[in-house]
Amino acid sequence: MPNPKLESRMTIPSSGGITFNDGGGNETVTFTEADEYYLSSAGDQTYGLMADIEDQINDVGGNFSGTLTVALTADGRCTISSDGANFTATWGVTWVRDALGFTQGNLSGAATYTSDDACQGLWLPGVPAVTLNKFDTSATTLWTGTRHSDLHGLRSMSGFAWVYSGPYLKKIDRMPFFGILPRKMFIQDETYVNESAESFWHQCIYGAEGFATPGGPIRFYPDLDDATVFASYKVLGNHDFAPEQFEQDFWGAYNWALLEMIQLPGEY
């Protein structure tokens, strides 16, 4: 079973962008306040955040001579690279710099750059998720949740009964992850800033980051290498960040679960 990834929706907090230059003149990627992205897949825009940067340079811009690639590393950091000349990247707004993990500031002098930190709005647990049904990339409904309705009824002592049903929703009551390494669980144990479940919970479920909304939505990809198969959820149950030991008196791995995940209605 492949390892999954989770991403938060990013609502652009302020308009601005990134200016690239590989010697042919400035080429600027722009973002508009209130537009919505996920790192790997589209929100209310045509592309995910990283693919939109590529598209605006490679398919729209004309001054950049190389082909720009923006991608995630295996540890959740971001690489920005060109198959052409060395280039510079100047951050017009700090939120996109921070979201991609580039706390080292403006970039210059190379054709490939890797962020110092892991990307915000992203969690790579490094272990499989456990759900009620198997993962099947050809039939996402098998693992996205179970149906819950408002079906209810009344009865009288004379034997008559009335039953009502309205809309239903799809919900995952509990999605656990077992055996998570400390660096992927706790902020204090991170190798790269932002890589832990605690960071993801604080930034994206609690909603501390400016791009986030409390409870998400977050997007779950059963295979971290496939950005086309996913389900999106509001998270209602994780009021606290409360992991558990993998086993008693063992401090090398932990368990954590996402609780009461309500799938967004437009996806089923």
200-237 pLDDT, tens digit each: 999 999 999 999 999 999 999 988 999 998 999 999 99
Q: Which two tokens stand for residue 13?
A: 């907090």
- Reported as a single tens digit per residue, the pLDDT across 46-83 is 999 999 999 999 987 789 999 999 999 999 999 999 99
| Rounded CA separation 263/232 (Å) | 6
Q: How many domains does the chain have?
A: 1
Please check whether residue 90 lies inside any domain of the structure.
yes
DSSP-derived 3-state class of residue 94: helix
Establish if 179 belongs to a structural domain.
no
Counts for the chain of helices (H) and strands (E), in that order: 3, 19
CA 131, 134, 140: angle at the middle one, nearest 5? 95
Residue 18, domain member (yes or no): yes
Residues composing the chain? 268
Report if residue 264 sits inside a domain: no
Is residue 39 assigned to a domain? yes
> Which range of residues forms the domain containing residue 69?
5-123
**pTM summary value:** 0.92
**228 Cβ partners below 8 Å, 6+ apart?**
41
- Mean pLDDT score across all residues of the chain: 93
119 domain-assigned: yes
Question: pLDDT class for 264, splitting at 50, 70, 90?
Answer: very high
Average pLDDT over residues 133-156: 75
In-domain check, residue 98? yes
